[in-house]
Amino acid sequence: MSVNYKELLDQLYYETKDFAKYGKVANYIPALERISGDYFALSLITDKGVLYSSGDHSIPFSIQSISKVFSFTMVFRKIGTEIWDRIGREPSGTAFNSLIQLEHEKGIPRNPFINAGAIVVADMMLSVCNDPKSRLLSFIQSLAGDETIHYNPEVVASEKATGHRNYALAHFMKSFGNIHHTVEDVLDVYFHQCAIEMTTDQLARSFLFLANEGKNPINGEEILNPSRTKRLQALMLTSGLYDESGDFAFRVGMPAKSGVGGGIVGVIPRQLSLAVWSPALNERGNSIAGIEAMERFTTYTANSIF
């Protein structure tokens, strides 16, 4: 079926924008709290590299937990299966920043997309490269083909000032021997990655390698081999939307990753990547209009991974 993506994105923009009124913009730091809930953007890029967008697709926003896909990818391509000695790959069934499960499971996080898992990945980044913050940023810039992508220092500072639970998670895992560097160094990397700002155009573009068996279709670079690409997307499908991953798979049917900045990026392998942004969140911390738009996208096109 041939779809006019530009028309479809515009239609989804008008149909689903107002769902934001049922949600609430993240308020744990001022820099996120003052973002208008009116922003709404959709960007789609095909595996041939053709980009379609609607709404506020040129406005950068805080990618927050979406960065966990980039940091995981960077470490996975370096150390491969060794990752699984220190991080699991099961959905957590608990909140993204829960401490309780870690106690039972002796400091091994359930998966790389809960905070504890991403904090272990940040610790691994410190082991595999000298300057993980600039390496991560240049990795993302090269995936997106855009050197304007940046850290927001105000968000970094607020994450540090309010990140008590993340400090608790890191210290707790360190007590089990699963953090090898100092907690300050590890969380400095983690808080920076949360504070990266990108547009939906850049996000769609940077996830495109997943839709192309691990190769960036624009410059031909292999980011992950096809087997690791499959594994990463399996993790996104089962754990990419916090404690709403099952419902998202049910409603939308795409591997995806969300963040509390209101962004969600999903992939249909061998076809396309789709990024949406609407800052108002539901009670599980996911963009309420974003999920609605993605659900309608797979419904109207009768196209998902299933």
The sign of the torsion formed by the CA atoms of 162, 165, 169, 175 equals positive
According to the binding rule CB under 6 A, does residue 236 interact with ligand GLU? Answer: no
According to the binding rule CB under 6 A, does residue 233 interact with ligand GLU? Answer: no
Q: Coil, strand or helix: which one is 296?
A: helix
Shortest distance, CB of residue 118 to ligand GLU, whole angstroms? 8
Residue with tokens 């974003």: 290
Q: What is the DSSP letter of 85?
A: G
- The torsion defined by the Cα of 169, 30, 133 and 142, in degrees rounded to 10, comes to 120
| 217 within 8 A of 208, measured Cβ to Cβ | yes
Alpha helices, DSSP H, located in 115-225: 115-128, 132-144, 153-162, 164-175, 183-194, 200-206
According to the binding rule CB under 6 A, does residue 94 interact with ligand GLU? Answer: no
Nearer Cβ to ligand GLU (61/96) = 96
- Is 121 marked active-site? no
Choose, from 53, 54, 65, 67, the residue flagged as catalytic: 65
Question: Binding ligand GLU by CB under 6 A: which of 260, 267, 272, 276?
Answer: 260
Nearer Cβ to ligand GLU (193/212) = 193
Q: Residue by residue, what is the 3-state secondary structure of 4-29?
A: CHHHHHHHHHHHHHHHHHHCEECCCC
Question: Binding ligand GLU by CB under 6 A: which of 65, 178, 239, 287?
Answer: 65
Shortest distance, CB of residue 31 to ligand GLU, whole angstroms? 11
DSSP letters spanning 193-246: HHTEEE-HHHHHHHTGGGGGTTB-TTT--BSS-HHHHHHHHHHHHHHTTGGGHH
- Is 39 marked active-site? no
- Is 190 marked active-site? yes
Nearer Cβ to ligand GLU (118/268) = 118
Which strands, in side-by-side order, build the sheet including 150-151?
Answer: 61-62, 196-198, 150-151
According to the binding rule CB under 6 A, does residue 56 interact with ligand GLU? Answer: no
| 78 within 8 A of 58, measured Cβ to Cβ | no
Shortest distance, CB of residue 95 to ligand GLU, whole angstroms? 10
Shortest distance, CB of residue 286 to ligand GLU, whole angstroms? 10
According to the binding rule CB under 6 A, does residue 194 interact with ligand GLU? Answer: yes
Cα separations in angstroms, 265 against 129, 149, 158, 259: 27, 17, 25, 9
According to the binding rule CB under 6 A, does residue 97 interact with ligand GLU? Answer: yes
Choose, from 242, 267, 273, 278, the residue flagged as catalytic: 242
Nearer Cβ to ligand GLU (194/198) = 194
Shortest distance, CB of residue 166 to ligand GLU, whole angstroms? 5
Nearer Cβ to ligand GLU (44/260) = 260
Choose, from 120, 190, 206, 267, the residue flagged as catalytic: 190
According to the binding rule CB under 6 A, does residue 206 interact with ligand GLU? Answer: no
According to the binding rule CB under 6 A, does residue 64 interact with ligand GLU? Answer: yes
Rounded to whole angstroms, the Cα distance separating 107 from 296 reads 39
Nearer Cβ to ligand GLU (200/298) = 200
Q: What is the DSSP letter of 287?
A: B
| 1 within 8 A of 302, measured Cβ to Cβ | yes
- Is 68 marked active-site? yes
According to the binding rule CB under 6 A, does residue 96 interact with ligand GLU? Answer: yes
Q: Return the active site residues.
A: 65, 68, 190, 242, 260
Contact footprint for ligand GLU (CB under 6 A): 64-65, 96-97, 115, 159, 166, 194, 259-260
